[in-house]
Homo-oligomer: A and B are copies of this chain.
Amino acid sequence: MQRPDEEKRKTILRVARDLFSRKPYHEVLLDDVAAAARVGKGTLYIYFESKDHLYLELVTEAFDVLLDDIDERIRADAESNWKLLEDLIALLAKWMAKHPTMFDLMGSNIHPVRRDALKQRRRRLGVCFEAVLRRGVEAGEIVDAQPELTAQFIPAMVRSGVVYGRRGLKADDIASQVVTLLTRGVRGRS
């Protein structure tokens, strides 16, 4: 995807990500984006087809970085599926802390057509975890009757920790609590 000025493109995306992280979609004006990126408003349309497309690229880009990281980790043979799972959770927590509103963004602000591109990413994330879980099940490391649900739960837990957790909570704290839950739940052995 070679563009006239790849640098400028990056700047716009970075600046836009900032704005979209702070305000809801409809409160972020392209005037603001242009001003913050120090470019003319028309320039935005050289690099992005529309506000929706800019927004979409923004979110998917961040997402894709995560998904790539996850893929890479998965491919790098881990010592066990459980260890891999722990690593992925740590990865996820760190990423989520950096993009605290990225999942909110997925909300429903965007045009339905574009929305699907986002849902698909979110789903892929689940699929990654599901795969690891299933392999763990096969390997006897994991016992889970509904791994596809658990796979959805994991990112959801991480996100809720980041978004609703008390101030000062570290990504590691969240990750370790998720792991604890997956390890033994919270029920006392009586």
Contacts and interface: CB of A to CB of B under 8 A. Distances in A.
Contacts of A166: 148
Chain A binding surface SS class: helix
A186 B108 contact: no
B185 A183 contact: yes
Nearest to A157: B153
Nearest to A176: B146
| Category for how many chain A residues contact B | 35 or more
B160 A153 contact: yes
A180 B153 CA distance: 12
A2 B145 CA distance: 50
A126 B187 contact: no
Interface in A102-136: 104-105, 107-110, 122-123, 126, 133, 136
A181 B153 contact: yes
A150 interface: yes
A144 interface: yes
A144 B187 CA distance: 8
Given A153-B181, A156-B157, 9 more contacts: A104-B104, A105-B107, A108-B109, A122-B164, A136-B188, A141-B190, A142-B188, A146-B177, A153-B153
